């Protein structure tokens, strides 16, 4: 397929920078350049990708609505977020709201609905068995991170995306390979396609996002105004409802035991921790605002606290989580530059924006909104590269945060769904849980590292499934291109042999060839990404990183509450200062002061924490209780 024409035209200087770095990268890849030069290389790569790898999920931009057909009846949404995601753009009020389609990083004609043969070849369960299954005792740790980093990314993806499923139609009945150990059938509801709005939707169906696509904390606040109203309760101070017991605050439960929060699917102890933490943070922001504005209503306090809390999570993800999982000096500079610009945090805080519009010089927040010619949405390919189930370990070792003593080691399966509060019920505190997550390793994002309980998962709605099979099947079902085409359309080099994919690993190359019947073009994007050698310091592949680099900045650049109205007038003086001066360590210590001494030397809360001496006495599973450096 020929290259698609770019969706927007960069400036003359931007084109010159793109051409210069493309020439340099023929001889030296960006990650081997000096730090500042490499960061500049990434900035121009991002501009190039914006041109070729942003595509609307609709055949017509009219789907985004107009002020006439989607009027703003409540004027308060001019300055605060709407839970449905509407009105972020006054000109396109439905853009990014719940119920809108996912976009694409590749042209729609390159992401067509698969034939039955394409959907099932090779068998997705066979692929899962060959490349996802974690063998007994062969957990591969990601030693640059802690388990809090694994919980964080699920906490964030629950804010960003959730496909609409077809619960009434005929489900997939996954064919099982001969001699498969699976007990019974594996049935999976299909992704529900959107209505056909254009003839092109027949071959290239669109799929709706049930969540809002904005970075708006919808996993806490809900993706509808009605849900938000239920979660708020009757607080005159704008606070979220939390239950209290002898050990602290808890996310309340409904009559059926479901956590009462914005998004409660796939619940486990990591979600229990982070939902509670940022509900507490919301309430602390309300207290700060109440002191400054004693006459404000509960609605005013809630709206501004949500705005501040959501921006804080976006900042933490940008300047802390991302440099932790992509642990190189270039990425640290680049991600800080995304937020603060190349001039840096200190100068930006002291003098404000030195460049009114340049995101490279002064960062994306406040640089003005720009959609690069394509209405904002998250994309199917963005969903695909965030398939990170390998991060989950088999067990979690729990420790006392006061003295570091080991308390218990619990299989992860016993920390999920209705068992998520089990450690708290057994006497551990939230401080103990966070300390334990701080010193446990997650799994590495690589082949054969899915925890086995996720490949034999029973969920509360009665489904029994293998998430390795599900991940492969969902990508194919939704038209995500296979690995070679995925790379080619990202303007990357395309391997011609299985050994090129694996960087010379002959055993893995032989397995790929066997499972994919010698046809390299059939390698799934997820399997190929897991098979390629990693850039030193990276927690996931460069192929996935290409999607990340264009979409991470787009979520900020398209949001008028970040790229546009980024000021004390919108956030309040107190709220703006709260975002600018707070990091993840501050949030943890604010609500669990016992962690202050543990984190005093930490430069990134998502990197392994310093351990208390008694934790070193634990002689259990070493990879789940890392040694002190």
Residues 6+ apart with CB under 8 A from 153: 321, 386, 388, 391
Looking up tokens 């080619």, which residue turns up?
A: 488
CA separation for the pair 364, 343 (Å, rounded): 12
Q: What is the dihedral of CA 99, 101, 102, 108, to 10 degrees?
A: 170
β-bridge pairing 165-166 and 190-191? antiparallel
CA separation for the pair 465, 471 (Å, rounded): 11
Read off the tokens for 329: 């000096």
CA separation for the pair 188, 380 (Å, rounded): 19
Residues 6+ apart with CB under 8 A from 299: 76, 238
Q: What is the dihedral of CA 513, 451, 441, 155, to 10 degrees?
A: 110
Nearest to 551 by CA among 40, 41, 54: 54
Does the annotation flag 371 for ligand binding? yes
Scanning 459-536, the segments in alpha helix (DSSP H) are 467-477, 483-489, 498-502, 506-515, 525-531
Scanning 366-479, the segments in alpha helix (DSSP H) are 380-385, 422-425, 430-439, 467-477
CA separation for the pair 12, 91 (Å, rounded): 28
CB 253 within 8 A of CB 260: yes
Rounded to whole angstroms, the maximal C-alpha distance in the chain is 71
In degrees and rounded to multiples of 5, residue 538 shows phi and psi of: -85, 140
Find the catalytic residue in 55, 73, 158, 458.
158
Which segments within 101-189 are labelled E, that is strand? 165-166, 172-173, 187-188
Three-point CA angle 242, 244, 249, nearest 5°? 60
Classify 538 as helix, strand or coil: strand
Classify 330 as helix, strand or coil: helix
Residues 6+ apart with CB under 8 A from 24: 33, 41
CB atoms within 10 A of CB 334: 27
Q: Which helix H or strand E contains 397, and what residues bound it?
A: strand 395-399
User: Is the omega angle on the peptide bond into residue 122 within 30 degrees of 0, that is, cis?
Assistant: yes
Q: Which helix H or strand E contains 410, and what residues bound it?
A: strand 406-411
Three-point CA angle 331, 335, 336, nearest 5°? 115
β-bridge pairing 395-399 and 165-166? unpaired
Half-sphere exposure of 169 (CA within 13 A, CB side): 11
CB 597 within 8 A of CB 431: no
**Residue 158 bears catalytic tag:** yes
Classify 473 as helix, strand or coil: helix
- Residue ranges at the known binding site for heme b: 371
Cite the annotated binding site by residue number.
Answer: 371
The set of catalytic residues is: 158
């Amino acid at each position: 397929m020929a290259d698609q024409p770019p969706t927007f035209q960069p400036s003359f200087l931007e084109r010159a920078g793109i051409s210069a770095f493309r020439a340099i990268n023929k001889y030296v890849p960006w990650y081997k350049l000096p730090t500042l030069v490499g960061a500049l290389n990434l900035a121009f790569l991002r501009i190039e990708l914006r041109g070729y790898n942003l595509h609307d999920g609709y055949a017509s931009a009219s789907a985004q609505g107009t002020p006439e057909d989607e009027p703003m009846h409540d004027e308060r949404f001019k300055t605060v977020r709407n839970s449905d995601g509407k009105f972020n753009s006054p000109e396109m009020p439905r853009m990014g709201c719940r119920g809108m389609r996912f976009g694409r990083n590749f042209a729609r004609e390159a992401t067509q609905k698969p034939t039955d043969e394409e959907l099932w070849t090779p068998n997705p369960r066979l692929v899962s068995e060959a490349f996802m299954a974690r063998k007994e005792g062969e957990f591969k740790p990601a030693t640059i991170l802690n388990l809090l980093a694994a919980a964080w990314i699920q906490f964030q993806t629950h804010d960003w995306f959730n496909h609409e499923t077809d619960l009434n139609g005929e489900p997939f009945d996954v064919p099982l390979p001969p001699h498969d150990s699976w007990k019974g059938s594996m049935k999976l509801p299909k992704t529900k396609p959107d209505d056909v709005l254009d003839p092109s939707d027949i071959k290239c169906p669109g799929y709706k996002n049930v969540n809002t696509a904005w970075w708006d904390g919808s996993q806490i606040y809900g993706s509808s105004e009605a849900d938000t109203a239920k979660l708020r309760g009757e607080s005159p101070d704008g606070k979220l409802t939390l239950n209290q017991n002898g050990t602290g605050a808890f996310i309340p439960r409904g009559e059926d035991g479901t956590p009462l929060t914005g998004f409660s699917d796939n619940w486990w102890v990591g979600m229990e921790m982070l939902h509670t933490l940022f509900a507490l943070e919301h309430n602390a922001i309300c207290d700060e605002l109440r002191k400054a504005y004693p006459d404000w209503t509960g609605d005013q306090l809630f709206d501004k606290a949500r705005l501040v809390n959501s921006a804080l999570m976006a900042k933490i993800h940008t300047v802390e989580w991302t440099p932790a999982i992509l642990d190189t000096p270039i990425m640290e500079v680049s991600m800080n530059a995304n937020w603060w610009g190349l001039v840096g945090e200190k100068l930006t805080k002291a003098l404000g924006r030195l460049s009114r519009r340049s995101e490279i010089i002064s960062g994306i927040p406040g640089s003005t909104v720009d959609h690069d010619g394509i209405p904002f949405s998250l994309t199917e390919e963005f969903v695909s590269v965030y398939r990170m189930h390998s991060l989950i370990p088999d067990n979690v070792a729990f420790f006392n945060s006061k003295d570091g003593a080991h308390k218990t080691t619990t299989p992860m399966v016993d920390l999920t769904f209705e068992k998520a509060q089990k450690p708290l019920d057994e006497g551990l505190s939230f401080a103990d849980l966070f300390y334990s997550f701080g010193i446990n390793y997650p799994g590495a994002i690589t082949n054969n590292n899915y925890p086995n309980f996720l490949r034999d998962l029973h969920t509360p709605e009665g489904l029994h499934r293998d998430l390795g099979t599900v991940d492969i099947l969902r990508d194919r079902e939704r038209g995500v291109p296979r690995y070679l085409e995925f790379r080619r359309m990202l303007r990357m080099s395309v391997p011609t042999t299985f050994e090129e994919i694996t960087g010379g690993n002959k055993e893995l190359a032989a397995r790929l060839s066997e499972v994919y019947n010698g046809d390299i073009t059939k390698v799934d994007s997820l399997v190929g990404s897991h098979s390629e050698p990693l850039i030193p310091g990276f927690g996931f592949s460069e192929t996935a990183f290409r999607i990340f680099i264009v979409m991470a900045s787009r979520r900020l650049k398209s949001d008028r509450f970040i790229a546009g109205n980024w000021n004390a007038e919108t956030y309040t003086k107190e709220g703006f200062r709260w975002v600018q001066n707070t990091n993840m360590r501050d949030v943890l210590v604010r609500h669990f002061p016992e962690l202050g001494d543990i984190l005093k030397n930490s430069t990134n809360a998502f990197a392994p924490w310093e351990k208390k001496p008694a934790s070193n006495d634990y002689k259990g599973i070493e990879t789940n209780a890392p040694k002190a450096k």
